[in-house]
Structure 1
Amino acid sequence: MAKSPREKYYRIGEISRLYKISTDILRYYDKIGLMSPDFIGENGYRYYSKKQIWKLNNIRNLRNIGVGLEDIKEFLDERNINSANDIIEFQLEKVEDKIKKLTELKEELTSKLENIEFFKTFKDFNKPVLKFIPKRKFLRSKGNFKQDWEIDFELKILNEKTEYDNDFILTNNEIGATLSKENFLKGEYLTFSESFIINDVKGEIIPEGYFLTIVFKGKYDESYKYYNILKKYIEENNLIVTGDIHEIYHIEIHITENEDEFITEIQIPVAEQQK
């Protein structure tokens, strides 16, 4: 290709550094005819002019919002008012979608931050509290879990089944594990039958009802102390356990590595024992 002596040309390495895009990708764009250099010198170097660089701006902008390379190539090859209109409308849709997801993420993270701040000043640790809890949706993963990492791994899998894109501390969803009624009665407090995410999107509905609860701070392997407190309360107040027990992890390994800062809530479904 003939080149103007007045025109400045840029080698592929310069374009790569300027746009922070690898030379391999630039060579691939050349291979598929998306953006070819103005000419290749006798030394084998690829040279680009400013007339080519505008294409790279368009390619990057369109790739950043999810436009495929074939669609980009078609647009660049046949640019006109109508095709530009279609591309801009597509861009607007993608931007609106990103705004929606970022807004949801902001709300979720704000909720998580409020939860952390709440427990920073929480005073009612280690006290049995009987409370009414409305119905909830549990997304469950059945199994036999004894280790923290086993529960955490299952929770990661469960999060993929929700409609939330963010994975930061599972955002504002409550997470936890289920202790079977049988294990509770036997005093086996560290063997769980499932992990779960409580969310508004999907899952099995857990009926509303009364739960005997206790919130404790510290290591999981000390949970037996609080289960024993709850057992004593159940006996003294003529209650019966009506189902499996839920452990809710309000502050856990995703938030702090200090186990002394962990905050867990035990929820036992109960009813008055008929005399």
Structure 2
Amino acid sequence: MKDEKEYYSIGQASKLCNVPANTLRFYDKIGLIHPDKLGENNYRFYSKETLMYIPVIKYYKQMGFSLEDIKKIVDENSFTIHEKLFKQKFDELKIINKSIYKKYTAIESWLQLIIEADLIKKNDITQVSVKYLEPSEFCYMEQNFSYNYKEAIINIDFTNYMESLSNEVAGVILLNFPSLKSRLEQRKTQVTIMQKPILKVTPETKTKSFGGQIFASCYHIGPHETLLTAYHKIYDWASKNNYSCADEAYERFVIDYWTTQNPDYFITEILIKIEKIDFSTPDPLF
């Protein structure tokens, strides 16, 4: 019976399926797709039915399968090998996805800080402002603090703690001073170092919420040793505008030792919770 199938030369098949001719030859060599017949000088010809495997191969390659695995999948008539290979690939991609997510989150957080710092520096934004901060969960560790900022910011103990939990942190570092008076007097004190986790935290991870309130904010450009000027700005502003300041403070390090070793380029934001003083409430004694 005469063969009435339509056959495509390797050049035609290459254009039809948008794959190089060398790729088709390689598929033949490894036994993935064979030509339906050979012409003079072993010239390859393919049927449309055979070429329909090309989109299937592209799809599996898109998912990250090797040609060796694709051959197993295409040749297998049961789902046993499919389930095994798909599960292996799924587990492999979960690990890759986790790694990419951690890198993406860390870079995105750092980029946002650089953009923020550039805005502050260019516009010399060092006046006091009122700011509402959305609540966020932070990992934390309490430590003694003797105003060695480099040791507190590039914090070996905190890094080791997060690694012990198979987690990492990213973004801005905060130091929470529970006593504003101790901070202003620069006495040795206990502080809480805070930073956002990248991955979902485990039950044993120490976390605390920060934000959800109104703060007085003041950016400081320059060395950490001169941060008190920003504190005094906030106190003077609060007194003039009838605000009371909470007895704790947060120092938020936008640009620090992680980015530059030149303290003149450091940018730190001082944050103190504030409340408007209500003079309309009558004194109960009168």
* TM-score, scaled to structure 1: 0.59
The reply to whether residue 148 of structure 1 matches residue 149 of structure 2 is yes
Aligned with 2:260 (options 243, 256, 260)? 256
What is the total number of aligned residue pairs between the two structures? 190
The reply to whether residue 132 of structure 1 matches residue 132 of structure 2 is yes
Answer yes or no: is the 8 Å Cα contact 1:136–1:199 preserved in 2. Answer: no
The reply to whether residue 213 of structure 1 matches residue 214 of structure 2 is no
Larger radius of gyration: 2
| TM-fit CA distance, 1:89 | 3.5
Aligned pairs for 1:192-231 within 5 A: 193-199=191-197, 201=200, 203-231=207-235
Alpha-carbon RMSD across the aligned residues, in angstroms, is 3.0
Match of 1:121, SS?
helix
Letter in structure 2 aligned against 1:96? K
Match of 2:99, SS?
helix
* TM-score, scaled to structure 2: 0.57
Unaligned residue ranges in structure 2 (runs of 5+): 1-78, 202-206, 280-286
Answer yes or no: is the 8 Å Cα contact 1:155–1:196 preserved in 2. Answer: no
Answer yes or no: is the 8 Å Cα contact 2:178–2:248 preserved in 1. Answer: yes
Instruction: Determine the structure 2 residue equivalent to 1:54.
Output: none
Instruction: Determine the structure 2 residue equivalent to 1:102.
Output: 100
Answer yes or no: is the 8 Å Cα contact 2:245–2:272 preserved in 1. Answer: yes
| TM-fit CA distance, 1:136 | 2.2
CA gap of 1:267–1:182, structure 2 versus 1, over 3 A, is closer
Greater Cα shift, 90-99 or 136-145? 90-99
Tell me the distance in 2 between the aligned counterparts of 1:213 and 1:177: 15
The reply to whether residue 93 of structure 1 matches residue 91 of structure 2 is yes
Answer yes or no: is the 8 Å Cα contact 1:189–1:224 preserved in 2. Answer: no
Answer yes or no: is the 8 Å Cα contact 1:180–1:245 preserved in 2. Answer: yes
Tell me the distance in 1 between the aligned counterparts of 2:126 and 2:268: 10
Aligned pairs for 1:1-275 within 5 A: 86=84, 89-122=87-120, 123-146=123-146, 147-151=148-152, 152-153=154-155, 154-160=157-163, 164-165=167-168, 170-171=169-170, 173-183=171-181, 186-188=184-186, 191=189, 193-199=191-197, 201=200, 203-275=207-279
Q: Deviations over 1:121-171 (max 9, x none)?
A: 322432101111122223221222121244132442454367644xxxx43
